[in-house]
Amino acid sequence: MDEEQLICTIIAGAGEAKSSAMEAINYAKNKQFKEADKAIKTAYDSFIEIHKIQTDMIVKEANGVKHPMSLLMVHAQDHLMTTMLFLDLAKEFIDVYRHI
């Protein structure tokens, strides 16, 4: 996979993970906790896959393989980091709904 494809995979995967996390919150809001747990697991599984891509790119750069900095790369990193934050918050929301 070339670099642009990797970057687009990160963007798409982050979107999938965030959508699954939002779905999990909505399930929890409706007291459907089995479905919420399944959806948040799906979200984290998607996130782990894109995080592996990012980690591989970082390791390669640390070993001397330079990646060109593009607006697309910045956009991918933005999606990755905001999705990471969103997943953590989604987990907290699910726990809050579970205790209400």
> Among residues 51, 67, 75, 99, which one is catalytic?
75
Q: How many folded domains does the chain comprise?
A: 1
Whichever domain contains 66, its CATH number is 1.20.58.80
Show the domain range for 66. Answer: 3-99
Residue 1 binned pLDDT confidence (cut-offs 50, 70, 90): confident
SS (HEC) of 8-36: HHHHHHHHHHHHHHHHHHHHHHCCCHHHH
Q: Is the pLDDT score of 68 beyond 90?
A: no
Q: What backbone torsions phi and psi does residue 19 show, to the nearest 5 degrees?
A: -60, -40
Q: Judge contact between 20 and 38, C-beta under 8 A.
A: no
**Residue 99 appears among annotated catalytic residues:** no
| Cα three-residue angle 51-58-43, rounded to 5 degrees | 5
Q: The pTM is what? A: 0.90
Q: Is the pLDDT score of 38 beyond 90?
A: yes
Residues 11-25, mean pLDDT to the nearest whole number:
98
Alpha-carbon gap, residue 86 to 72, rounded angstroms:
21
